[in-house]
Structure 1
Amino acid sequence: MLNISDDFKRRMLKTPAIRPCESVNPATLLSSLINLAQTITCKYKSSVIFSNKRNFKEVTRLISNLLMFLVEIKDGSSRFSDEFVLSFSELHFIFQKIEFLLQDCGNEDAKLWMLMKCEYVSDQLRMLVRAVGVALDVIELEKIDVSDEVKEVVGLVKRQALGGNVGVEEDDKRCFDKVLSILRCFEVGVVPKTSDLSCVLEYLGIEKWSQCDQEMKFLESEILLESLSTEKKDLGLLSSLMGLMTYFRCVHFVSVGDMTLIKQYDESGCDSEVISSLNSDDFQCPISLEVMLDPVTIATGHTYDRSSILKWFRAGNSTCPKTGKKLICRDLVSNLAMKRLVRQFCLEGGVATGEMGRQDRRKREASVAGSVAAEGAIRMVAVFINGKLVKGTNEEQKKAVHEIRLLTKSSSFNRSCLVEAGVIPSLLNLLCSKDSVKQEDASAALLNLSKYSETKRILVENGGLELVLDVIKNGLKMEARQHAAGTLFYISSVEEYRILIGEIPWTIPVLMELLLEGTFRAKKNALVTILGLLMYPDNHWRVLSAGVVPLLLNLLGSLQREDLISDCLAVLATLAENHDGAMAILSARALHQIVEVFGVSTTRSVKEHCVSLLLYLCINGGADVVRVLVKNQALMVPLYDLLADGSPRAGRKASSLIRIIHEFDEKSSSGLMNLPLHHQFIHV
Structure 2
Amino acid sequence: MGRDDLYIAVPSFFRCPISLDVMKSPVSLCTGVTYDRSSIQRWLDNGHNTCPSTMQVLQTKEFVPNRTLQRLIQIWTDSVRQRVESTESPPSKSVPSQQQVLYAIRDLQNQTQSQNQNQNQNQNRLDSLSKFLCFAKESKENRQILGNMDGLVPMLIGFLDIGDDAVSGSVEFLEKVVEVLDLVLNDKSQEQREKLAKLILKRQSNCLSSLVLVLRQGSSSESRIGSAKLLEMTAVDAEAKVLIAEKEAVIPELLKLITLTPEKDGGVIENGLSCLVAISMPKRNKMKLVEFGVVRTLSKLISETNRSVGVIEKVLKLLETVSSSKEGRAEICEDERCVAGIMNKVLKVSSVATEHAVTILWSVCYLFRDQKAQEAVSKANGLTKILLLMQSNCSAAVRQMSADLLKIFRVNSKSCLLSYDTNTTHIMPF
Any gaps of 5 or more consecutive residues in structure 2? 1-22, 26-67, 70-74, 82-96, 112-120, 187-192, 415-430
The aligned residue for residue 657 of structure 1 is 401
Q: 1:448 to 1:521 in 2, by over 3 A?
A: same
Give CA-to-partner distance per residue, 1:218-251, whole Å, 9 cap, x none.
xxxxxxxxxxxxxxxxxxxxxxxxxxxxxxxxxx
Q: 1:558 to 1:657 in 2, by over 3 A?
A: same
Alignment match of 1:574 (pick from 310, 321, 335): 321
Cα distance in 2 for residues equivalent to 1:534 and 1:481 = 20
1:623 is displaced (CA, Å) by 5.4
Indicate the RMSD between aligned Cα atoms, in angstroms: 3.7
How many residues are treated as equivalent by the alignment? Answer: 296
Q: 1:604 to 1:278 in 2, by over 3 A?
A: farther
SS at match of 1:423: helix
The aligned residue for residue 208 of structure 2 is 465
Answer whether contact 1:594 1:610 (CA < 8 A) is retained.
yes
Cα distance in 2 for residues equivalent to 1:453 and 1:278 = 37
Q: Does 1:546 align with 2:292?
A: yes
Alignment match of 1:386 (pick from 105, 125, 132): 105
The aligned residue for residue 180 of structure 2 is 445
Cα distance in 1 for residues equivalent to 2:168 and 2:284 = 34
Q: 1:638 to 1:528 in 2, by over 3 A?
A: farther
Cα distance in 2 for residues equivalent to 1:391 and 1:531 = 40
Answer whether contact 1:559 1:565 (CA < 8 A) is retained.
no
Give CA-to-partner distance per residue, 1:306-338, whole Å, 9 cap, x none.
xxxxxxxxxxxxxxxx89xxxxxxxxxxx9x98
Q: Does 1:595 align with 2:343?
A: yes
Cα distance in 1 for residues equivalent to 2:222 and 2:410 = 54
Cα distance in 1 for residues equivalent to 2:220 and 2:410 = 58
Cα distance in 2 for residues equivalent to 1:386 and 1:539 = 39
The aligned residue for residue 611 of structure 1 is 358
SS at match of 1:598: coil
The aligned residue for residue 635 of structure 1 is 385
Cα distance in 1 for residues equivalent to 2:171 and 2:305 = 29
SS at match of 2:248: coil
The one-letter amino acid of 1:466's match is S
Q: Does 1:404 align with 2:141?
A: no
Any gaps of 5 or more consecutive residues in structure 1? 1-276, 280-321, 324-334, 342-376, 671-684
1:550 is displaced (CA, Å) by 0.5
Cα distance in 1 for residues equivalent to 2:248 and 2:178 = 22
Alignment match of 1:561 (pick from 307, 310, 319): 307
Percent identity, aligned pairs only, is: 15
The one-letter amino acid of 1:407's match is A
Alignment of 1:214-233 (within 5 A): none
The aligned residue for residue 455 of structure 1 is 196
Cα distance in 2 for residues equivalent to 1:506 and 1:424 = 23
Q: Whose radius of gyration is greater, 1 or 2?
A: 1
Alignment of 1:119-198 (within 5 A): none
Alignment match of 1:424 (pick from 156, 179, 188): 156
The aligned residue for residue 491 of structure 1 is 234
Cα distance in 1 for residues equivalent to 2:170 and 2:160 = 14
Cα distance in 1 for residues equivalent to 2:361 and 2:409 = 17
Answer whether contact 1:389 1:423 (CA < 8 A) is retained.
no
The aligned residue for residue 189 of structure 2 is none
1:488 is displaced (CA, Å) by 0.9
Answer whether contact 1:573 1:609 (CA < 8 A) is retained.
yes
The aligned residue for residue 424 of structure 2 is none
SS at match of 2:283: coil
Q: 1:661 to 1:481 in 2, by over 3 A?
A: closer
